[in-house]
A and B are shown apart, each in its own frame.
Chain A
Amino acid sequence: MATEKKTIELDGLEQFRENLDLKLQDKHNENLTTLNLGPTHPATHGIFQNILQMDGEKIVDAVPTIGYIHRAFEKIAERRAFYQITPLTDRMNYCSAPINNMGYLMSVEKLLGITVPKRAQYIRVIMMELARISDHLICNSILGVDSGAFTGFLYVMQEREHIYDIYEEVCGARLTTNMGRIGGMERDLSPKALHLIGEFLNRFPKVWAEFEKMLTRNRIFIDRTTDVGAISAERALSYGFTGPNLRATGVDYDVRVMNPYSSYEDFDFEIPVGSKGDTYDRYLVRNEEVWQSLKIIEQAYKNLPEGSFHADAPHYYLPPKQEVYRNMEALIYHFKIVMGEIDAPVSEVYHSVEGGNGELGFYLISDGGRTPYRLHFRRPCFIYYQAYTEMIKGGQLADAILTLSSLNVIAGELDA
């Protein structure tokens, strides 16, 4: 059987080379140029390669290659205890790590049947929406950079630092946050964290309004982005688009509204949609989502319920450290949790959250052991990036760069 498998392998490799050659030879013609866009081109904002076939400035064909930072998270997760997988999820969409953390934690809680108290849910909502703001802020300001407006990027980057300060106050880390624990948050919001969030809510609207003023009605920006990288709603659905990229085509699918989690049903917000699905629409949708996220944070901040910041689940949630030193039961629980010896039911769950780029899903199969039997991440970037070739064909090279940044492809999430 082994030899048989090997031939299949080699066929695959040869086929790959043949396909590539055919694709490039087919259109062989002295007017065409082959151009390597990436893997480490500064304008791709991540490590992915596209071999482009160019007719002057026009893209005739493209062959994408991905996997440059594949770290086999799905495989590693099969060896790790449930609580040790959260740090892996940080490293998928590192622009909005808390959303990934919370999404994973919520899937485990769904598996274990833990109900998280309202206060923890609201804290999670605040953190997730801050993460969404920082994600969209990067995407839209990078879009500005790629179309020649560097100032806005540096200006809003300062606000991302302030968001990271809030993360730091809540969980101690800035980029790869590992925020939250199975059953709630690791600690309550400190007075300083609350103060920082309050300050952010006061300061950020002005900054964002100014950023919008620079780009939204800017003639050059509109000319550069309208009808660039457009995709129809029908094609987008077939390609499995979700999130802002799908909403830009006019489909109002948002996981937060369709399948509310973590008390999203308590908040009043709108889903912005576009109409043409081009780069400008994606920019507008993300911009508006930032405003909606601010609205959600404001509501959660004002109505933050009293109560515990974690569920009463001693089997899964670490006891306070001082208890561990004094109390026998706490010591046992501490030991069992740290060693990963918690009992998980034999079951399978799928839970999805609205990530920065769309429906971020976690499909978890548990066989009752200390690790997941199988953990599959539904990574929105991986699924929609395959449409990129179709979206850039026939356009200019400079437009391909704009399309890539407006799709907000994050290499970490793409390759997992």
Chain B
Amino acid sequence: MELTNENVLGKIIEQFGEENIWDAVNPDGIMTFQTNRATIHELIKYLRDDKELQISFLTTMCGIHYPEQKDRELCMMYQLHSLRHNYRLRIKVYFPISDPVMPTMTDLYAAANWMEREAYDFYGVIFTGHPNLIRILNVEDMEYHPMLKQYPLEDQTREDKVNTFFGR
């Protein structure tokens, strides 16, 4: 079966229902749709194990922060690839920042381990069931999640630094 956006979406909706899969768009040739936290794990498992689809390569995942969107502040983006059919797919899950909990994908993909640690480190997303959810790139005792939009980069014009300390 040749995978196209239409027939893949049809298959997924048939399996999971329209109430769980919505807002399918195609911004750059990669179909992007949204789902909810309850479905995501089952969905990725289904895409991996289905004999026809074989969308079984986790290319990447990352967090995104939209502080303006009420109760949909955080987003996890999963991008999957079917190496057999050369077909890519992007899934997004939005959830409130007051409840930043997502199911882990480490039981499906070994690669998800560090990707999820990175998302936890940057955005504070808690992955339930993750074997070792600790910071990965930043120091362990950092007290905030630096990629959230409320933390700006250092002001380029600040003057309270003593330049001699920085070799300037």
Task: Give the interface of A toward B (CB within 8 A).
Answer: 1, 5-6, 8-9, 12-13, 15-16, 19, 66-67, 70, 72, 74-76, 78-79, 110-111, 235, 237-240, 251, 253, 258-259, 347-350, 352, 359, 361, 363, 365, 373-374, 376, 378, 382-387, 415-416
Contact = CB atoms under 8 A, between A and B. Distances in A.
A378 B60 contact: yes
Nearest to A376: B62
Contact of B153 (A79, A237, A416): A79
Contacts of A70: 137-138
Contact of A239 (B30, B111, B122, B152): B111
B164 interface: no
Interface of B: 27-28, 30, 32, 56-60, 62, 64, 77, 79, 83, 86, 88, 90, 98, 109-111, 113-115, 118, 120, 122, 124, 126, 132-144, 146-147, 152-153
Given A240-B57, A350-B90, A378-B60, A13 B140 contact: yes
Contact of A66 (B56, B58, B111, B136): B136
Contact of A9 (B27, B57, B136, B143): B143
Contacts, number: 110
Given A348-B32, A383-B60, A386-B113, 7 more contacts: A16-B140, A67-B135, A67-B138, A67-B139, A110-B28, A350-B88, A386-B110
A241 to B, nearest CB: 8
A384 B79 CA distance: 16
A386 B143 contact: no
B141 A237 contact: no
A19 B132 contact: yes
Given A239-B110, A251-B83, A349 B28 contact: yes
Contacts of A72: 146
Contacts of B153: 75-76, 78-79
Contacts of B98: 1
Contacts of B77: 363, 376
Contacts of A361: 59-60
25 contacts: A5-B144, A8-B126, A9-B142, A12-B120, A12-B135, A13-B141, A15-B132, A16-B134, A67-B139, A74-B122, A75-B146, A237-B56, A237-B57, A238-B109, A238-B111, A239-B110, A240-B57, A348-B27, A348-B32, A363-B62, A373-B64, A376-B60, A376-B62, A383-B111, A385-B114
Contact of A12 (B83, B114, B118, B134): B134
Contacts of A78: 153
Given A66-B137, A67-B136, A383-B114, A240 B58 contact: yes
Nearest to A1: B98
Contacts of A76: 153
Contacts of B110: 235, 238-240, 386-387
Contact of A365 (B64, B79, B152): B64
A387 B109 CA distance: 12
A386 B28 contact: no
B126 A258 contact: no
B127 to A, nearest CB: 12
A76 B62 CA distance: 16
A5 B123 CA distance: 12
Contacts of A235: 110
Given A70-B138, A75-B147, A387-B110, A253 B83 contact: yes
Nearest to B135: A12
B28 A374 contact: no
Given A67-B137, A251-B83, A347 B28 contact: yes
A111 B28 CA distance: 8
A1 B115 CA distance: 25
Nearest to B83: A253
Contacts of B59: 240, 352, 359, 361, 378
B86 A12 contact: no
A100 to B, nearest CB: 16
A56 B121 CA distance: 35
B60 A386 contact: no
A369 to B, nearest CB: 12
Nearest to A347: B27
B115 to A, nearest CB: 7
Contacts of B134: 12-13, 15-16, 19
B86 to A, nearest CB: 5
Contact of B140 (A12, A237, A385): A12
Contacts of B133: 12, 15
B141 A383 contact: no
Given A74-B122, A240-B59, A382 B114 contact: yes
Complex A-B, nearest 10 residue pairs according to Cβ-Cβ distance, in ascending order: A240-B111, A67-B137, A376-B62, A349-B28, A378-B60, A70-B137, A16-B134, A238-B110, A386-B114, A239-B110
A386 B110 CA distance: 8
B111 A363 contact: no
